[in-house]
Amino acid sequence: DWDTGIGGGLWSTGLAMARYFRNHNYEVRNNLERLRRTRMTITRGGGGDGDGGGDDEKGGAGVRALELGSGNGFLAACLAAATAGSDLLEELAVTDLEDHLPLMRRTVDANAHLMERVDANAHLMERVDANAHL
């Protein structure tokens, strides 16, 4: 929906990423599992090398993902679909300018069966201090 502005359309890069999620689902899930194990190791005070101590470490808190400038929410829906039926994602937050929020909300609502963990929030870019140090 290009009527909502630049964030309303489906960009070729977004479509390429969606195809990657679909065509490389095993790799996507495997990498998220590795991130989860790394997070668990760091949380327990380990070195964070991602080893996690072996396969018995699987399970536990999933990965938290943040999509900045989501626009229409398409990639968030694709990631939710790629991880459906698993606990790999603990949280998936999608953000953009406030004028894109209605379209993003429609995408989230249309995919509610996949997006139980999604938090669609406006990210008001004009309120971000570009000189702030992170």
Tens digit of pLDDT for each residue in 82-101?
998 888 988 888 888 888 88
> Which of 117, 76, 114, 116 has its CA nearest to residue 95?
76
CA distance linking residue 7 with residue 100, whole number of Å: 6
Concatenate the DSSP letters of all residues of 61-107 into one string. S-EEEEETT-TTSHHHHHHHHHTTTSS-EEEEEEEE-GGGHHHHHHH
- Higher-pLDDT residue of 97 and 15 is 15
- Higher-pLDDT residue of 82 and 55 is 82
- Higher-pLDDT residue of 6 and 71 is 71
- pTM for this model (two decimals): 0.72
The reported pLDDT for the residue numbered 44 is 74
CA distance linking residue 108 with residue 42, whole number of Å: 32
Residue 129 binned pLDDT confidence (cut-offs 50, 70, 90): very low
CA distance linking residue 54 with residue 129, whole number of Å: 43
Residue 8 binned pLDDT confidence (cut-offs 50, 70, 90): low
Largest pairwise CA distance in the chain: 51
**What average pLDDT does range 2-9 have in this prediction?**
62
What's 14's DSSP letter?
A: H
The reported pLDDT for the residue numbered 104 is 85
